[in-house]
Amino acid sequence: MTIKLSRKLNSLLIILGFGYLVVFSSPLTLGGRVVDSTKQNNQSAQFILDNGLKVALYRQGHLPLVQLVIGFNVGSKNENPEISGLTHLLEHYLLFRTNQKINNKDISLVIREKGGYYNAHTGRDLLLIEMTLPSENFLFALQCVKQLAFNLDFNASTLEEEKQVILEEIGHLQDDPHRYGTSLTFQQLFRGHPYQQPIHGTPATLAKITKDQIKEFYQRYFSPQNAALAAVGDINLNEAEEKVKQLFSSLTNPSPPSDSLPPVPARKEKSIITKEMDVNQAYLFLGFRGPDYNHDDQYTIDVLTEILGRGINPLLNQVVRGRRELAQSVSMNYTSLFYGGALIISLTLEPKKINQAEKEVIRFLKTLRRQNFSKEDFYGEAQIYVYDFLEQAKNQIFFRTYQAQENGLTLAQSLVRFLLLNKLKERGSYLEKIDKITSSDIRKVAGKYLSQGNYVAIKIIPFDKDK
């Protein structure tokens, strides 16, 4: 018997380029009784199998493709310093282990023969496995995803090969100032919390991870009750639901994960770290704590991020690329995680200007609680001559929202993220919330998150050739 939803699905929305991805605005709930799974306009359906697997289906028929994503509520947050990098190593092994067969054929070869694509991603909160195939191969795609995610067998040589691959990835990351600086910023922002673990681990921790540790970790977290599956594409909802039940209902659960992670500790002081690299320019990363995935401030933060460091005419561009020419480029990004969020401002600049740029950006951020962002902040004829940063940011968000709805794989990723991380009973419409944001709201969250002084500064500068 399958547990069905008692709520109708509302709007399916998603936004790219922000840390917050929005999907079905009604949450996945069991309700008080067993009813038919919901189908709205024959476009979408949600249901939960008896074993706890959450499933979302969305019909998108403009291309003859189907995109599948299965996600597990496990990431670097579930590691300790001794096994840092284990989740990412397991992801590699699940995808690229040798002698992995389906219908007595090599799974990667058959996927390519059918014109398909598959990959996986490890984050701080979730591990995702994704696949795209022509929609006529929907059942085969489900079989492949099930094989990859729920059928672990070990080959010691393959495990060691994947460790070497990840060591190369770590080397590439440490040679890339943008990726390395962002990683260091996260580690410092969430110091004292499992989010501080680097997703790739370190060469020392990877070398010590054993087959038994991976097996124990896999058995603990890779179960249907800790997972969500999304299918987006040219599918028949009734047939798709039956195929999902047929393949996944027989999966069973070991003992449920019992992790009780601590809240992210409050930051009490500023942290500054300087690293030398083989680069010609300098790179400055300023990190601030932001709202988590289920916090209502995230909508205003999305707009503030657009105003400051994205879009057509970002305010930070005026601060550091104006008369003083303190930086060649500046951008800002917001990442929302289950236990907290991160706001990161990134600058590329001359090494001699890095300290002055930091001072100017921090000084400007402290003035945001007094800034005017909309023409509504002015009166009379003055409204004609001011640039409406708020309206421009909203328009950009609306545009990317509608544009992103065409990307089936990103929709599927967003659905899985929602099913596993959402804790709100009613999320409401994302764009309606964005549309209601005022300058007063912007000033309030800017003061709350960007004006406290307890930020992280990561400075990457060229090697000192005189040493």
Distance, in Å, from the CA atom of 70 to the CA atom of 131, rounded to the nearest integer, reads 9
Q: Which amino acid is at 421?
A: L
Residue 134: CB partners within 8 Å, gap ≥ 6? Answer: 64, 65, 66, 114, 115, 116
CATH of domain 3-248: 3.30.830.10
Q: Delimit the domains of the chain by residue range.
A: 3-248, 271-374+438-462
pLDDT at 97: 72
Report the percentage of the chain scoring pLDDT > 90: 71
Write the pLDDT tens digit of every residue in 47-83: 999 999 999 999 998 889 999 999 999 999 999 999 9
Segment 216-222 mean pLDDT: 93
Model confidence at 144, in pLDDT bands (50, 70, 90)?
Answer: very high
Burial of 210 (0-12, 13-18, 19+ CB in 10 A): exposed
Of residues 107 and 274, the one with the higher pLDDT is 274
Q: Does the structure show a pLDDT above 50 at 19?
A: no
Evaluate if residue 220 carries a pLDDT over 80: yes
Mean pLDDT over residues 256-266, rounded? 80
Please give the structure tokens belonging to residue 100: 């992995």
> What is the C-alpha separation between 168 and 324, in angstroms, rounded?
40
Q: Is the dihedral of CA 436, 362, 327, 467 positive or negative?
A: negative
More confident residue, 61 or 432: 432
When pLDDT is cut at 50, 70 and 90, the band that residue 28 belongs to is very low
| Per-residue pLDDT reduced to its tens digit, 78-121 | 999 999 999 999 999 998 876 677 777 888 889 999 999 999 99
231 and 240 in contact (C-beta within 8 Å)? yes
Mean of the per-residue pLDDT values for the chain? 87
Instruction: Say whether pLDDT at 9 is over 90.
Output: no
Provide the pLDDT for residue 37. 40
**What does the angle CA 265 – CA 433 – CA 450 come to, to the nearest 5 degrees?**
35
Indicate if the pLDDT at residue 23 is higher than 50: no
List pLDDT tens digits, range 157-207.
Answer: 788 899 999 999 999 999 999 999 999 999 999 999 999 999 999 999 999
pLDDT for 39? 43
Query: So what's the pLDDT on residue 162?
Result: 92
Q: What is the pLDDT of residue 332?
A: 97
Residue 34 pLDDT > 60: no
The mean per-residue pLDDT over the stretch 389-408 comes to 90
For residue 29, what pLDDT is reported?
A: 33
- Residue 98: predicted pLDDT: 60
The answer for residues whose C-beta is within 8 angstroms of residue 223's C-beta and 6 or more apart is 52, 251, 252, 253, 254, 256, 257
The model's pTM: 0.89
Across the range 417-427, mean pLDDT stands at 92
Q: Which CATH superfamily does the domain covering 271-374+438-462 fall into?
A: Metalloenzyme, LuxS/M16 peptidase-like (3.30.830.10)
Instruction: For 192-235, give the DSSP string.
Output: TSGGGS-TT--HHHHHH--HHHHHHHHHHH-SGGGEEEEEEES-
Asked whether this chain's domains 3-248 and 271-374+438-462 adopt the same fold, the reply is yes
Percent of the chain with pLDDT over 70: 90
pLDDT tens-place string over residues 300-358: 999 999 999 987 789 999 899 877 799 999 999 999 999 999 999 999 999 999 999 99
**How long, in residues, is the chain?**
467
- At residue 42 the predicted structure's pLDDT band, cuts being 50, 70 and 90, is low
Whether the per-residue pLDDT at 155 is higher than 80: the answer is no
- Of the candidates 424, 53, 430, 380, the residue with the CA atom closest to the CA atom of residue 224: 53
